[in-house]
């Protein structure tokens, strides 16, 4: 069967914010929110906003609602068990919780490997362990290709390596890292792998079992939901972690959710899986005999194909400009990148470019995006960091052309 094209009118009708006509191209900073997410949020707050764990009816129903959404999230990322889903305030908080709990049994001289391509949230929590004598090694991208070489990782691994922690896709370059391959090497070395999937999860269906990651984190507000975050961990590994909640709370995931997860935000994420099912059913009306996970995959495949078109259109334009340097992968190739595109200009500062775009009601931005080590290694601090344009599937080719039209006048 031929893959249909993504019906933009259909998907855009699910995002009320898009009706304003504003062009959202800072999606790697945060995506717009799905109407089904908001509907689930208000359904919960208006009907089930009580404390969990009591014997009365509404309390039992409230637990059922949140359990339903947790099961949906487990299904979404192909976790084995809903207990593997830890919900929390932000990905920054998740990495901090993981670093504090997993390192409880580590000794001075034990090692962690992180990279120079991380958002700081997956860096500082590990760097801070140096105070306890933990050694932090940095896996650096090849400075020419801006990609990681597995051979470099092999050189850094040692019998003392406890954990490798790295980003799945760069939040600046959009480059996708070969996580399944990394997982093999890390596990052969006897270490664990934690992945920051924040910049990838809006664009691809994540399959934690196929990737064989030990921990995986993403932020719901970048995947069309609200401000909360999800951390997956293999059950036996989560069980082995020290808790960070009250001394009498020892079960997974509660021991890793101090102050508990936010019930209404967790429940609202079922709106994401509602959406993915509806996108599938709209595009494949005769395809009735497939399960939800296949539906999620086919919906994401539609998104990916469309995003590749957007990225190619914009990258082809950038390449016509001699004064522009495009960072990282030089095409929209879906195998290599997500449509998060960063560039800088030979003479203009990045801020000057963004300020010329702002009046046109197109949201793009410049900066280090908290991936400071990467921006430093690219020598882009004096430029104010690169300009970043980040699309998601609800962006249209017309919107990309609108941006190109504005940039073309002064670049
Ligand atoms: C790649 C990456 N990791 C982590 C984070 C931090 O996520 P949060 O805002 O949920 O703490 C971000 C936020 O921009 C990010 O882009």
CA 142-216-263 angle, 5° bins = 145
Please indicate whether the domains covering 8-33+290-410 and 38-272 agree at the CATH topology level.
Answer: no
Paired tokens of 108: 């001075």
Domain boundaries, the chain: 8-33+290-410, 38-272
Distance 367 CA to ligand 1 centre (A): 14
| CA-only gyration radius of the chain, Å | 21
160-200: pLDDT as tens digits: 999 999 999 999 999 999 999 999 999 999 999 999 999 99
- Give start and end residues of each alpha helix (H) in 88-149: 91-102, 124-127
Task: Quote the pLDDT of residue 11.
Answer: 98
Task: Quote the pLDDT of residue 1.
Answer: 57
The secondary structure of 298-345 as a DSSP string is HHHHHHHHHHHHHHHHHHHHHHT-TTEEE-S-SS--TTTB-SEEEEEE
The CB of 31 under 6 Å from ligand 1? The reply is no
Task: Quote the pLDDT of residue 232.
Answer: 98
Secondary element (H or E) of residue 217: strand 215-219
Nearest Cα residue to 52 out of 62, 42, 37: 62
CATH 3.40.640.10 assigned to domain 38-272? The reply is: yes
For residue 110, the number of C-alpha atoms closer than 13 Å in the C-beta half-sphere is 17
Yes or no: say if 324 and 304 are a contact pair by the CB < 8 Å rule.
no
Distance 123 CA to ligand 1 centre (A): 11
The CB of 245 under 6 Å from ligand 1? The reply is no
Task: Quote the pLDDT of residue 288.
Answer: 86
The CB of 121 under 6 Å from ligand 1? The reply is yes
The DSSP bridge pattern shows strands 229-233 and 85-88 to be antiparallel
Distance 221 CA to ligand 1 centre (A): 10
CB atoms within 10 A of CB 281: 13
Name the phi and psi angles at 58, rounded to 5: -65, -35
* Residue 257 DSSP class: S
Distance 40 CA to ligand 1 centre (A): 24
Task: Quote the pLDDT of residue 59.
Answer: 98
Architecture of domain 8-33+290-410 in this structure: Alpha-Beta Complex (3.90)
Distance (Å, whole) CA 50 – CA 35: 23
Residues of the chain with pLDDT under 70: 1
pTM: 0.98
The CB of 390 under 6 Å from ligand 1? The reply is no
Sign of the C-alpha dihedral computed for residues 276, 280, 282 and 286 taken in this order: negative
Secondary element (H or E) of residue 138: strand 135-139
Distance (Å, whole) CA 209 – CA 44: 31
Paired tokens of 341: 């595109």
Distance (Å, whole) CA 82 – CA 68: 10
For residue 7, the number of C-alpha atoms closer than 13 Å in the C-beta half-sphere is 12
């Amino acid at each position: 069967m031929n893959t249909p094209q993504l019906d933009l009118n259909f998907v855009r009708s699910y995002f009320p914010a898009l009706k304003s006509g504003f062009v959202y191209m800072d999606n790697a900073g945060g995506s717009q929110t799905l109407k089904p997410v908001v509907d689930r949020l208000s359904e919960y707050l208006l009907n089930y906003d009580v404390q969990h764990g009591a014997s009365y009816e509404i309390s039992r129903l409230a637990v059922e609602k949140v359990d339903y959404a947790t099961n949906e999230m487990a299904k979404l990322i192909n976790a084995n068990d809903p207990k593997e889903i830890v919900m929390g305030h932000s990905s920054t908080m998740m990495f901090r919780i993981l670093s504090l709990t997993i390192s409880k049994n580590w000794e001075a001289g034990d090692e962690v490997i992180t990279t120079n391509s991380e958002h700081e949230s997956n860096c500082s929590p590990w760097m801070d362990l140096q105070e306890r004598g933990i050694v932090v090694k940095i896996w650096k991208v090849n400075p020419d290709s801006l990609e990681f070489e597995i051979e470099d990782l092999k050189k850094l691994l040692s019998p003392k390596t406890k954990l490798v922690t790295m980003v799945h896709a760069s939040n600046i370059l959009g480059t996708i890292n070969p996580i399944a391959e990394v997982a093999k090497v890390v596990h052969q070395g006897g270490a664990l792998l934690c992945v920051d999937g924040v910049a990838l999860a809006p664009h691809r269906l994540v399959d934690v079992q196929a990737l064989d990651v030990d921990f995986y984190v993403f932020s719901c507000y970048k995947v069309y939901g609200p401000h909360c975050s999800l951390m997956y961990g293999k059950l036996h590994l989560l069980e082995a972690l020290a808790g960070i909640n009250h001394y009498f709370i020892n079960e997974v995931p509660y021991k890793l959710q101090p102050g508990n997860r936010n019930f209404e935000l967790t429940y609202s994420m079922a709106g994401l899986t509602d959406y993915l099912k509806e996108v599938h059913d709209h595009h494949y009306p005769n395809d009735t005999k497939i399960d939800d996970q296949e539906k999620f995959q086919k919906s994401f495949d539609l998104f990916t194909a469309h995003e590749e078109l957007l990225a190619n259109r914009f990258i082809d334009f950038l390449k016509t400009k001699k004064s522009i340097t495009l960072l990282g992968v030089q095409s929209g190739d879906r195998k290599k990148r997500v449509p998060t595109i960063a560039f800088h200009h030979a003479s203009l500062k990045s801020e000057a470019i963004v300020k010329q775009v702002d009046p046109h009601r197109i949201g793009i931005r410049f900066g280090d995006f908290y991936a400071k080590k990467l921006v430093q290694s690219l020598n882009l601090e004096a430029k104010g960091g690169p300009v970043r344009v980040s699309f998601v599937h609800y962006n249209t080719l017309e919107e990309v052309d609108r941006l190109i039209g504005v940039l073309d006048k002064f670049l």
